Amino acid sequence: MTVPVAGPVPHPKKPAVALPRGACDCHAHLFGPSDRFPYTEGRGYTPPDAPAEKFLAMLDALGFARGVVVQGNAHGYDNRAILDAVRRFPDRLRGVAITDTAVGPKELRQWHDWGIRGLRFHIYFGDNKPGYKRGVGWDAFEVFRPTMLELGWHMQMWIDWRALPENEERIRRLPLPVIVDHMLNIPAERGVGDPSFQTLLRLLGDGKCWVKLSGAYRVSSRFPDYPDAKLLHQALVAANPDNLVWGTDWPHPQVDAAVMPDDGVLVDLMNAWTPDAALRRKIFVDNPIRLYGFPPAA
């Protein structure tokens, strides 16, 4: 049996500072409804249903116009939940899928028409892999590479922070955008000077990757304000704000209910850690338009 996990804060606080018009939450997951989109065998956890309608309600409550839904582990390679969402809400949602190579170019082109804009890959360090089925790696990427280039897609990368230095040159050579999840998932206590984080700053500063300013609560144990994650965030903003996007990571799978982040608080932290309103607009609005192909904000 897989472990049931907690759901998100049902009524997040209203952000203290209003989001700019056209703001986008660039990292969230959809789960279920499980009677329509069953959870996969071999998953690492069993979430409560978090369908598109609940995600859109959260976006509305916080003031987001748009969102990006990323395939989550509970659905494995079955992308029907996010495909359904981007098809039904094309003005508001884009998607990033995870799939094995059983899916071919024709199907990927159809996904593009519906609103998918990238594929997500998992890169592990040594043999440090989870004991459950999770993601695809470099070998699958090489199969997908020609079609991803054709479609103008990006490679979203969950990478073990310890593995980034050994993959730096390979990332630099890639002819398509690469976005690194959750500020590299590096423990914030390691600090900005850690060699792996310095590698990330180098890639970002040289325009060779993008980074998601998300998951502060995943890199820091200092709930609810994550002050050590602030230093990572600000170093990334200083390195290259043109290649950054931000996301809630709603509905926060595999986080204990006692330390479940409030999505409104996460927005407040983003605003506090990025005091320049012009930079916040770039990260919330302009950069998502470039990366995900949203139309210009009204």
pLDDT digits (tens, 9 = 90+) for 21-57: 999 999 999 999 999 999 998 898 999 999 999 999 9
> Could you tell me which residues are beta bridge partners of residue 70?
96
Banded model confidence at residue 132, pLDDT cuts 50, 70, 90: low
The 3-state DSSP class for residue 53 equals helix
Note whether 157 and 121 are within 8 A (CB). yes
Q: Put residue 282 in one of left, alpha, beta given phi > 0 → left and psi -120 to 50 → alpha.
A: alpha
Q: pLDDT by residue (tens digit) across 192-251?
A: 999 999 999 999 999 999 999 999 999 999 999 999 999 999 999 999 999 999 999 999
Give the pLDDT confidence of 256-270 residue by residue, as tens digits.
Answer: 999 999 999 999 999
Work out the angle at residue 120's Cα, subtended by the Cα atoms of residues 248 and 158, and round it to the nearest 5 degrees: 65
The whole model's pTM is what?
0.96
Which CATH number fits the domain 24-292, given the four candidates 3.20.20.140, 2.40.50.180, 3.40.50.1000, 3.40.50.300? Answer: 3.20.20.140
> What are the structural domain ranges in the chain?
24-292
What is residue 135's predicted lDDT score, i.e. its pLDDT?
A: 87
Give the catalytic positions in this structure: 249
In three-state secondary structure terms, 157 is strand
Task: Tell me how far CA of residue 203 lies from CA of 25, 62, 182, 199, 245, in angstroms.
Answer: 23, 32, 15, 6, 15
CA 176 to chain centroid: 17
